[in-house]
Chain A
Amino acid sequence: MAVYLILIPFFLTIMICILNGANDGTYLLLPLFSNESFFNKYGKGKLFLILTFIGEIIGATFLGEIVLKKIQYGFIYLYNPGLLQIVIISSVILFVTLFIYLISSFLPFPVSLSHTMIGGLIGTGLFFKYNIIIKNLISTIVVWTITPLVALLIGLIVYKIVFTFSIKNFKSIRKIKNSVLLYLIAFNLLFLLIFFKKSRIGFIVILIFYSILTSFFLLKLFFDNNNSKLITSVLKKRLKEDKNIFLDKSLKKDAFLDRSLKEKEKGKDENILKDEYDNVEKIFTDLSLLILPDVFIAHGANDVANCSALFSLVLFSLFKNRIPINYNLYILFIFSIILSSSIIFLSTKKAKKLSCNIFTIESSKIFVSYYSLAISTILFSFLGYRVSSIYTLTGSYIGIGYAKGFSIFNSRLLFTLLVSWILTFGLSVLLTYSFYFFIKYIGIIL
């Protein structure tokens, strides 16, 4: 009987994977869909979906285990629970998580899977009077609070660097290309180092993946002649010529009267400015695509582990000593496929629909936000902490805003996020506790 009961947490885990993919995927992909340049170039193709899919699976399979173990054993001591007990515990927590996810659109605050899931575990600990590992809980709460702030700081610093060295004071398109290459190398090295520390197979996989992707990008970047002109110097030269015309008094009168000629010249300047801006944006559009799998590596490392942790405990209890080696790896791999499929099939549709009526974010800012999200999430995941991708990305946008990247943004959302995690966590503890109380009342738990 208990064997069949495992189907309940199994289906609930699948449902949560689907909802998490649809919810987080929409938020992570929305900036790309809002950007006309990216959407026209890559939005209709399959490349960005493939990269998303691969990124999510790599992140979950090779880095998810650190987070997974933390959830499996990190918050409450289960004192050798029986299969039935673990099925009930996981089903209740998963059900509460699913319920909160389903009502999330009607809640005035954003909902995070990490906060809900850990709230569920704490609710369980309180109800069954298990030993709650306070130290781990406090450190996780500290991480929840500081993650958006860390992302804000990284976003602010990276945007200031990108803005100063690649946007404002650039001399030529080639120099921008060189500078973005440096950002990319620094980023890839960090990811490779983390994979090297954690998993040798993962390191080889990511090395091959990065090599293919970066080579493709470099070929496109440095051998695309369309945007290799030194446009700024053309603009400067034209301004110099104009100045000479105005200085020459004999020419001044004619130059002023010939309005059509002047407007034609001005039109050229406008086009040069537009071309220049478009060319810089094109580089960052390609770069945003290149960094996209890293965003999903970070997301996969965190969220797939979040979704599948409780079900893995159920299987662990079922098979006991017959657990295969790399058991966690298989679990993470299977659920990462479900979650990434949900991102591809559900979140892209939702993101497309929402993108019509939202603020457009330029490619350079998308790149910076992804950069800081991926770095913050991967660092905390490496340390075994569960973070919320939505909160982290929001923090990085606010950081860019403080660096004057956005002319208008809601800075108070940072405070809202702080209140949100407390509310989500509290709601989850309360609902889980109440649910146990209810099922005890109807006689399921004695």
Chain B
Amino acid sequence: MKKYPFIFQKLFPEKDLLNYISQHFECIYQASIILEDLIISYFNNDEISRFIDQISFYERKADSIKNELRQTIRNSFKISFTREDILQFIHIQDNIMDSIEDFAKLLFLNRISFKIDKQIENLLTDLSDLVINSIKNYKQLIDNFIKGYNFGFAKPIFELQQKNIEELDDLEHKIDAISLDLGKIAFSYKDKYNPVDIIHFNNLVILLSKIPNSISRLTDKILDFMHH
């Protein structure tokens, strides 16, 4: 005979809406930490397949959280934000995870045959550092957003969030500048090296620089939620 859930379980889903978002981002954050090690190993010419497996694990976990959230929203629950906004938000956040996974896989698929000089290596390391930092900053933004929700976004929290957003904007600007420099350098080698390698290298840079763009869209959404 079927046992029905307790009334409390019917009233609330197992997890809070913001909890899903936070848990989903936690997977991205963990993947970004692995990404840091992956890039170091890549430049040291070490084996990187284990990092790919770890990132894929977090990607699958993030996907299941996203699906759980979708299912919860569908189950006739009333939510404080519009369904479309939440779905769009989680979709953009999921894009970050996809970019990290794609970057890692692309790095694994083809080892660039030309010798990466110190200038490119430094720029690429700077780029990845900045991307990882923007993920870390965004994590703080999300944490404050969840705490702020319970505080009704009191003025000091609002100001703190705006300060974080300003920093994220600054990081995005820096990332754009570095990725442009890297792109220019890569295409300047077009007569010298294998074009596949150059396009591959450029794709890697594009994938990394997509992450702060997604974060920037998410910060706009967070601001909208806070004003809501």
List residues of A whose CB falls within 8 A of some B CB: 26-27, 30, 105-108, 110, 163-164, 167-170, 232, 235-236, 239, 242, 256, 259, 266, 269-270, 273-274, 277, 280, 354, 357-362, 364, 390, 394, 397-398, 401-402, 404, 406-413, 416
B11 touches A394 (CB 8 A): yes
A30-B6, A266-B164, A407-B17 are known contacts; what are 20 more A-B pairs with Cβ within 8 Å? A105-B3, A110-B7, A167-B150, A242-B163, A259-B133, A269-B160, A273-B147, A277-B150, A359-B12, A360-B16, A362-B150, A394-B11, A401-B78, A402-B78, A406-B16, A407-B16, A407-B79, A407-B81, A408-B72, A410-B10
User: Which residues of B sit under 8 angstroms from A401, Cβ to Cβ?
Assistant: 78
Q: Which residues of B contact A362 (CB under 8 A)?
A: 150
CB pair B14 A359 closer than 8 Å: yes
Would A406 and B12 count as touching, CB distance under 8 A? yes
A105 to B77 CA separation, bound complex (whole angstroms): 22
Cβ–Cβ contact A358 & B159, under 8 A: no
Most chain B C-beta atoms within 10 Å of own C-beta, residue among A256, A360, A406:
A406
The listed residue (B75, B151, B159, B160) touching A277 by CB distance below 8 A is B151
Query: In whole angstroms, what is the CA distance A302 to B14 when docked?
Result: 30
CB distance from A80 to the nearest CB of B (A): 41
* 18 CB-based A-B contacts, threshold 8 Å: A106-B1, A106-B2, A107-B4, A168-B153, A235-B160, A239-B163, A242-B163, A269-B160, A280-B151, A354-B6, A359-B8, A394-B7, A407-B18, A407-B79, A408-B16, A408-B78, A413-B10, A413-B11
A401–B80 Cα distance when bound, in Å, is: 8
* A408-B79 contact, Cβ under 8 Å, with A30-B8, A168-B152, A413-B10: yes
**Please, how many angstroms separate the alpha-carbon atoms of A108 and B5 in the complex?**
8
Interface residues of B, dominant DSSP = helix
In the complex, how many angstroms separate the beta carbon of B141 from the nearest chain A beta carbon?
11
What residues of A have a CB within 8 angstroms of the CB of B147 in the complex? 273-274, 277
Verify A408–B4 contact, CB threshold 8 A.
no
Q: Which residues of A contact B17 (CB under 8 A)?
A: 407-408
A358 to B16, CA, bound (A): 10
Q: Which residue of chain A lies nearest to B18 when distances are taken between CB atoms in the complex?
A: A407
B154 pairs with A169, CB closer than 8 A = yes
A259 to B9, CA, bound (A): 45
Kindly provide the distance from the CB of A46 to the nearest chain B CB, expressed in whole angstroms: 24
Cβ-based interface call for B45 (8 A): no
| Residue in B closest to A256 when the chains form the complex, CB atoms | B170
Most buried by A among B12, B14, B16, B17: B12
